[in-house]
Copies of this chain bind each other. A is one copy, B any other.
Amino acid sequence: MELTVEQIAGLLQGKVRGDSSRKVSKLAKIEEATAGSLSFLSNLKYEPYLYTTGASAVLVGENFEPKKPCNPALIHVKDPYSALTVLLEAYNKQRLESKTGVEQPSFMASSAVMGENGFRGAFSYVGEGSVIGTGVKIFPQVYIGANVRVGNGTVLYPGARIYDNTVIGARCVIHAGVVIGSDGFGFAPQADGTYKTVPQVGNVVLEDEVSIGANTVIDCATMGSTIIRKGVKLDNLIQIAHNVEIGKNTVMAAQSGISGSTKVGENCVIAGQVGIIGHLTLANRTSIGAQSGISKSVTKEGTALFGSPAFNYKDNLRSLSVFRHLPDLQKRVEDLERKILNLPGTKGQDA
Q: Is the CB of B339 within 8 A of A340?
A: yes
**A195 CB contacts on chain B under 8 angstroms:** 231, 233, 249, 251
How many of chain A's residues have a CB under 8 angstroms from any CB in B? 108
CB nearest neighbor in B for A322 = B326
Chain B CB within 8 A of A309 CB: yes
CA A233 – CA B325 in complex, angstroms? 35
- Verify if A324 is at the interface (C-beta below 8 Å from B): yes
- A6-40 interface code vs B (CB 8 A; 1 in, 0 out): 00000000000000000000011100100000000
| CB <8 Å contact, A163 and B143 | no
Asked whether, in the complex, the Cβ of A123 is within 8 Å of the Cβ of B107, the reply is yes
A350's nearest neighbour on chain B, judged by CB, is: B339
Q: Do A28 and B224 touch across chains, with their CB atoms under 8 A apart? A: yes
Distance (whole angstroms) from the CB of A140 to the closest CB of chain B: 5
- Per the bound structure, the CA–CA distance linking A217 and B345 in Å amounts to 66
Q: Are A107 and B140 in contact (CB under 8 A)?
A: yes
Q: Does A149 contact B (CB under 8 A)?
A: no
Name the distance in Å between A49's Cβ and chain B's nearest Cβ.
13
CA of A255 to CA of B259, assembled, Å = 11
Of the 9-residue stretches A67-75, A110-118, A269-277, A296-304, which lies at the interface with chain B? A269-277
- Residue numbers of A with Cβ under 8 A of B are 27-29, 32, 85, 88-89, 91-92, 103, 105, 107, 121-123, 125, 139-141, 143, 145, 157-159, 161, 163, 173, 175-177, 179, 182-183, 185, 187-188, 193-195, 197-199, 201, 209, 211, 213-215, 217, 219, 223-224, 231, 233, 235-237, 239, 241, 248-249, 251, 253-255, 257, 259, 266-267, 272-273, 275, 277, 290-291, 293, 295, 308-309, 311, 315, 318-327, 329-330, 332-333, 335-340, 342-346, 349-350
Report the 3 A-B pairs with minimum CB-CB distance, sorted nearest first: A88-B199, A322-B326, A143-B158
